[in-house]
C-alpha cells in the first residue's frame, strides 16, 4: 500500500467512525430524554403505583436476560449494518406508538410495558452490534480514546437530554416528548445506512449453544474479565435500583417538579462526563486496574450522600452522590470494555461482549424489581438507603480478585 493509499484509507475510516458516532449520539440523546419522560407518563398520565413504575423500569432492561447470550451469535451471523438499521426502526415504531395511543385515548399501562420491553429487545441486539463494530473502525491504540469519546458523548447526552426533557415535559407534556426519541431512532437508522456493510464470514455449521458456550467459558475462565464482569453486574444492579427509585422518591417524598427530576437525573451525565474525561489520564498515571479499584471505592462512598436528600433544600446531596456513582461506573466501564475489545480473539469478540452484557446488564431488571419490593416493604427512604449502601460491595469484588495485584488489566491473559 502506498502512502497516498494509506492516507485515503485513514480518511475514509475516520469519516466512517464519525458517522457511527453521530448515529450513536442521536439515538442516545432521544433515549436519555425518555429516561425522564417514560416513568413520568406512568406516574402523571396513568397514575401508576410504585410497583408498576419499578416494573416499567425492569421491562426497559429485561431483554438482557432473554436475549443477552444469543445476541452475540446473532450479531456474528448476520449483516451488521442491516441489523442495526432494523433495530433502530423497531425502536422508532414502538416508542412512536405511545403518543399515538394517547392522542386516540387508548394508552394503557400494558401498552407502556410492551413498548419498554420491545425497545429493550431491539436495544440488546443494537448495542452488542455497536460494541463489535467499533474495533473494526479504529486501531487498538485508539480504542481507549475512542471509547472515552463515546462515553463522554453519552455523558453529555445524559446531562443535557434529561434536563431538556424535564423542561419540555412542563411545556408539552411527557407523552409528546417520546416523539423526540422516536425521531432520534429514525435519524440514527438513516445515518447507519450510509456505513459500509459488514458481511459475516463463511463458517462451518456449529450449533448455537456450542457457540454461546465458547464465549461464556472464555469469560468465566479469564482471571481478569471474570471479576470485572461481576463488578459490572453488582454496579448495574444497584444503578438500576437507584434509577427506578429516583423519580418515585423525588416526586412523592421530596415533592420535586418534573424539571427538578430532569436536572437531578442529568447529574448522572455530569459525573459520567467527568469520568470519561479523566479515564485515559488516570489509566496512564496509575494503570487501568488501579483506576477501576480507586474509582469504584470513591463511587461507593459518594453514593451514601444520595439518601441524605429529604427536602427540596437538600437535593444537592442527591446530585453529588448521583454524579459520583456515574463517574465511577464510567471509568470502570471504559477500562473493562477496552480490555475485552483488545484481549478477546476476533472470532469470539461478539460472543464475549454478549456474555459480559448478559451477566452485567441482565442484573438491571433484577435491580429495578428489587427496588420495588424494598420500597413496598420498608418505604421509599429506607429502600433508597439500602440500594445506595449496595454500591460499596462492587469494589470488594475487584479487591478480592487478581485485579488487586495488577497495575494494568492487560498484564494477565487467559
Please give the pLDDT value at position 252. 87
Tell me 138's DSSP state. Answer: S
pTM of the model: 0.72
The yes or no reply on domain 12-193+206-411 and CATH 3.10.20.340 is: no
Return phi, psi of residue 145, to 5°. -65, -40
DSSP string, 113-127: HHHHHHHHHHHHHHH
- On the CB side of 297, how many CA atoms lie within 13 Å of its CA? 9
Instruction: For residue 193, give Cα distances in angstroms to 23, 190, 389.
Output: 10, 5, 44
Please give the pLDDT value at position 2. 40
Residue 55 · residue 369 · CB < 8 Å: yes
Return the CA Rg of the chain: 21
Return phi, psi of residue 8, to 5°. -60, -45
Please give the pLDDT value at position 7. 36
Task: List % helix, strand, coil for the chain (3-state, nearest 5).
Answer: 85, 0, 15
Calculate the CA 235 to chain-centre distance: 12
Please give the pLDDT value at position 11. 41
Report the alpha-carbon distance of residue 191 to residue 132 in Å, rounded: 18
Overall residue count recorded for the chain in this entry: 414
Instruction: For residue 342, give Cα distances in angstroms to 80, 234, 268.
Output: 20, 24, 28
Residue 224 · residue 16 · CB < 8 Å: no
Please give the pLDDT value at position 3. 35
Please give the pLDDT value at position 203. 57
Q: Which residues contact 226 (CB under 8 A, 6 or more apart)?
A: 219, 220, 401
Q: Show pLDDT as tens, one digit a residue, over the chain (414 residues).
A: 443 333 334 444 677 788 888 888 888 887 777 777 888 888 888 888 888 888 888 888 888 777 877 877 777 777 778 888 999 999 999 999 999 999 999 999 999 999 999 988 888 888 877 777 777 666 666 776 777 777 777 767 766 676 677 777 777 778 888 888 888 899 999 998 888 776 656 555 667 778 788 888 999 999 999 999 999 999 999 998 998 899 889 988 988 887 788 788 778 878 888 888 888 899 999 999 999 999 999 999 999 999 999 998 899 999 999 999 999 998 999 899 888 888 888 778 778 877 888 888 888 888 988 998 999 999 999 999 999 999 999 999 999 999 999 999 988 765
Helix (H) and strand (E) counts in the chain: 16, 0
Report the alpha-carbon distance of residue 292 to residue 333 in Å, rounded: 8
Residue 298 · residue 234 · CB < 8 Å: no
Q: Give the containing element (helix H, strand E) for 159.
A: helix 140-172
357-387: buried (b, 16+ CB within 10 Å) or exposed (e) per residue? bbbbbbbbbbbbbbbbebbeeeebbebbbbb
Report the alpha-carbon distance of residue 268 to residue 322 in Å, rounded: 6
Please give the pLDDT value at position 296. 94
Return phi, psi of residue 247, to 5°. -65, -35
Domain ranges of the chain: 12-193+206-411
Amino acid at each position: 500500500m502506498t502512502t497516498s493509499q494509506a492516507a485515503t484509507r485513514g480518511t475514509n475510516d475516520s469519516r466512517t467512525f464519525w458517522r457511527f458516532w453521530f448515529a450513536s449520539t442521536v439515538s442516545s440523546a432521544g433515549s436519555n430524554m425518555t429516561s425522564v419522560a417514560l416513568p413520568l407518563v406512568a406516574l402523571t398520565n396513568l397514575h401508576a403505583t410504585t410497583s408498576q413504575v419499578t416494573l416499567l423500569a425492569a421491562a426497559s432492561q429485561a431483554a438482557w436476560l432473554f436475549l443477552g447470550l444469543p445476541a452475540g451469535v446473532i450479531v456474528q451471523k448476520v449483516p451488521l449494518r442491516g441489523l442495526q438499521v432494523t433495530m433502530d426502526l423497531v425502536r422508532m415504531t414502538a416508542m412512536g406508538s405511545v403518543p399515538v395511543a394517547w392522542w386516540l385515548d387508548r394508552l394503557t399501562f400494558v401498552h407502556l410495558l410492551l413498548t419498554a420491553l420491545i425497545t429493550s429487545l431491539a436495544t440488546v441486539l443494537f448495542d452488542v452490534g455497536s460494541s463489535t463494530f467499533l474495533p473494526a473502525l479504529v486501531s487498538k491504540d485508539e480504542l481507549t480514546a475512542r471509547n472515552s469519546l463515546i462515553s463522554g458523548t453519552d455523558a453529555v447526552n445524559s446531562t443535557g437530554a434529561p434536563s431538556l426533557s424535564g423542561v419540555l415535559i412542563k411545556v408539552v407534556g411527557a407523552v409528546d416528548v417520546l416523539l423526540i426519541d422516536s425521531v432520534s431512532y429514525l435519524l440514527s437508522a438513516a445515518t447507519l445506512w450510509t456505513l459500509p456493510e459488514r458481511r459475516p464470514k463463511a463458517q462451518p455449521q456449529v450449533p448455537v449453544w456450542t457457540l454461546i458456550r465458547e464465549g461464556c467459558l472464555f469469560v468465566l475462565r479469564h482471571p481478569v474479565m471474570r471479576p470485572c464482569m461481576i463488578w459490572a453486574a453488582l454496579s448495574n444492579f444497584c444503578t438500576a435500583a437507584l434509577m427506578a427509585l429516583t423519580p418515585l422518591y423525588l416526586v412523592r417524598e421530596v415533592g420535586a417538579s418534573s424539571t427538578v427530576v430532569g436536572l437531578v437525573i442529568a447529574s448522572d451525565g455530569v459525573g459520567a462526563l467527568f469520568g470519561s474525561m479523566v479515564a485515559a489520564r488516570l489509566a496512564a498515571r496509575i494503570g487501568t486496574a488501579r483506576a477501576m479499584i480507586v474509582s469504584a471505592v470513591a463511587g461507593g462512598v459518594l453514593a451514601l450522600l444520595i439518601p441524605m436528600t429529604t427536602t427540596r433544600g437538600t437535593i444537592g446531596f442527591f446530585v453529588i452522590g448521583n454524579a459520583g456513582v456515574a463517574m465511577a461506573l464510567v471509568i470502570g466501564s471504559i477500562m473493562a470494555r477496552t480490555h475485552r475489545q483488545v484481549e478477546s480473539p476476533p472470532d469470539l469478540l461478539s460472543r464475549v461482549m454478549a456474555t459480559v452484557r448478559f451477566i452485567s446488564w441482565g442484573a438491571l431488571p433484577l435491580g429495578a424489581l428489587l427496588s420495588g419490593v424494598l420500597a413496598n416493604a420498608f418505604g421509599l427512604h429506607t429502600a433508597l438507603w439500602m440500594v445506595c449502601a449496595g454500591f460499596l460491595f462492587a469494589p470488594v469484588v475487584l479487591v478480592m480478585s487478581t485485579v488487586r495485584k495488577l497495575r494494568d488489566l492487560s498484564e494477565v491473559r487467559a
